[in-house]
Amino acid sequence: MAQRRIANPALFICDLQEKFRPAIHEFPKVVATAQKLLKASQILDIPVFATTQNKARLGETCPELKLDQPGGIRTVCHHDKTLFSMVTPEVKKSLDSLNASGPLSCIIVGIESHICVTQTTLDLLKAGHKVYVIADGVSSCNKEEVPIALARLRHEGAVVTTSESFMYEYVGDAGTPEFKQIIKVVKDTSQTTKEVMQTLCKI
């Protein structure tokens, strides 16, 4: 098998919490994309990092993501923070524990695009990592913030892409053992993906 196009991936789930549900533009669609990528992460053995923002006020991570729940998805780090960036000392320590052979490829979904997602991306880029911001997996309270944030992050050096594009790019070869499983995820979520793209990725 050829060397993977994307090396040392890590999935970042940024502040997808209960209290944000009524405030964030198309919040359920952001959660749907996060769920899809979490399924892919299990197939592709991609480590997951998650944060909450001041959960005493803003609540726990949305239960449908099943992070660190019985029978759910085990994270490397699921940390509460007051920093806007996910790159806290605790998360840095967990990133170091991966013992990656080079810079990470960090895949980011969550909220808000112009605050926590932006500051996380900038910190990861500054640390020398590659960052993939998933356009169908980020949002803000005011939808007008999103394209401005994505344009800025693209200018700063992040790759702005979609969940499906990322999955195909990471797999890279229809002959790999995991391809059939990834295709099943794509097919099972095809209608949801279409609805999400039409809402969150309008150009």
Task: Out of 15, 29, 62, 106, pick the active-site residue.
Answer: 15
| Residue of 149, 148, 177 whose CA lies nearest to 14 | 149
Query: Is 81 part of the annotated catalytic residue set?
Result: yes
Task: Out of 39, 116, 130, 136, pick the active-site residue.
Answer: 116
For residue 27, give Cα distances in angstroms to 10, 30, 36: 22, 5, 15
3-state secondary structure of 1: coil
Task: Out of 29, 36, 39, 81, pick the active-site residue.
Answer: 81
Structure tokens at 41: 């992460």
Structure tokens at 189: 């979520």
Phi, psi angles (nearest 5°) of residue 106: -95, 125
Query: Is 201 part of the annotated catalytic residue set?
Result: no
Structure tokens at 93: 């320590």
Note whether 107 and 76 are within 8 A (CB).
no
| Residue of 62, 55, 15 whose CA lies nearest to 35 | 62
Query: Is 106 part of the annotated catalytic residue set?
Result: no
Total length of the chain: 203
| Residue of 112, 166, 93 whose CA lies nearest to 134 | 166
Alpha-carbon distance of 197 to 130, in angstroms, equals 24
Point out the residues that are catalytic: 15, 81, 116
